[in-house]
């Protein structure tokens, strides 16, 4: 599958390497691709990356994501699954840029012809691509309005090492608020542990059902 990742930071690079190792054709998108030739990964402009992609991943800072996507243009994004892993935080990490909504919702509202799935934003980039490195299984969440888009996202998560049993579909794109607001609890847990490489596991009653993302 052709996967385009908008952004060239730690998250984008980790995901690109993880999916490339699983056999996918990955391309990083940058506003200044000529300055990002030292990453060991293919890099192109934003528009070229969007045109290349069967699945597009937003791994840009959440405070600029909508503006950046608008620079690509709605026609170029129409019909392309967009996986959003961004969270918009203030410079001092004390406030969300979408306190009464979510970045995922804002992207979906701005691009109604682009199915958006929110996932992977509740953990560090190391865990995103190596969930098996933790001491036991944990949970990754999916939010989105399009069932087919969530199934495709689920398959891509499986390729990163997330089995179906670890994927929890929590509902429509409005539930992305919960994923993004978790950022504050994540920071508190990280301070308590003195480390960022951890994740949470949802534990229910025996026999309780759930919606899987794949």
The pLDDT tens digits of the residues spanning 202-214 come to 998 887 665 555 4
- Facing residues of 119 across strands? 142
- Facing residues of 69 across strands? none
Burial 85-118 (b: 16+ CB within 10 A, else e): bbbbbeeeeeebbbeeebbbbbbbebbeebbbbb
Mean pLDDT of the chain: 95
Domains, the chain, in order of start with CATH, read 2-193 (3.40.50.720)
Q: Which pLDDT belongs to residue 214?
A: 44
Q: Residue 6: pLDDT above 90?
A: yes
The pLDDT tens digits of the residues spanning 160-198 come to 999 999 999 999 999 999 999 999 999 999 999 999 999
Percent of the chain with pLDDT over 90: 91
User: Which ranges of the chain does DSSP label H, i.e. alpha helix?
Assistant: 10-21, 46-52, 65-72, 74-77, 103-110, 125-129, 147-159, 176-193
Residue 40: pLDDT band (50, 70, 90) is very high
Q: Which pLDDT belongs to residue 206?
A: 83
């Amino acid at each position: 599958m052709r996967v385009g990742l908008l952004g060239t930071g730690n998250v984008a690079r980790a995901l690109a390497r993880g999916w490339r190792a699983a056999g996918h054709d990955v391309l990083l998108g940058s506003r200044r691709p000529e300055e990002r030739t030292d990453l060991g990964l293919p890099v192109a402009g934003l528009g070229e990356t969007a045109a290349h992609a069967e699945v597009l991943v937003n791994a840009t800072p959440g405070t600029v994501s909508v503006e950046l996507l608008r620079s690509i243009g709605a026609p170029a994004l129409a019909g392309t699954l967009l996986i959003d892993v961004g969270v918009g935080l203030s410079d001092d990490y004390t406030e969300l840029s979408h306190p009464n909504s979510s970045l995922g919702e804002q992207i979906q509202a701005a691009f109604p012809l682009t199915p958006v799935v929110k996932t992977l934003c509740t953990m560090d980039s190391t865990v995103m691509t190596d969930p098996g490195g933790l001491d036991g299984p944990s949970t990754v969440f999916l939010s989105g309005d399009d069932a087919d888009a969530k199934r495709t996202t689920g398959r891509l998560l499986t390729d990163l090492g997330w089995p179906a049993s670890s994927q929890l579909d929590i509902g429509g794109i409005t539930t992305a608020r919960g994923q993004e607001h978790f950022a504050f609890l994540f920071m508190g847990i990280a301070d308590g542990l003195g480390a960022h490489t951890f994740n949470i596991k949802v534990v229910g009653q025996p026999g309780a059902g759930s919606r899987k993302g794949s």
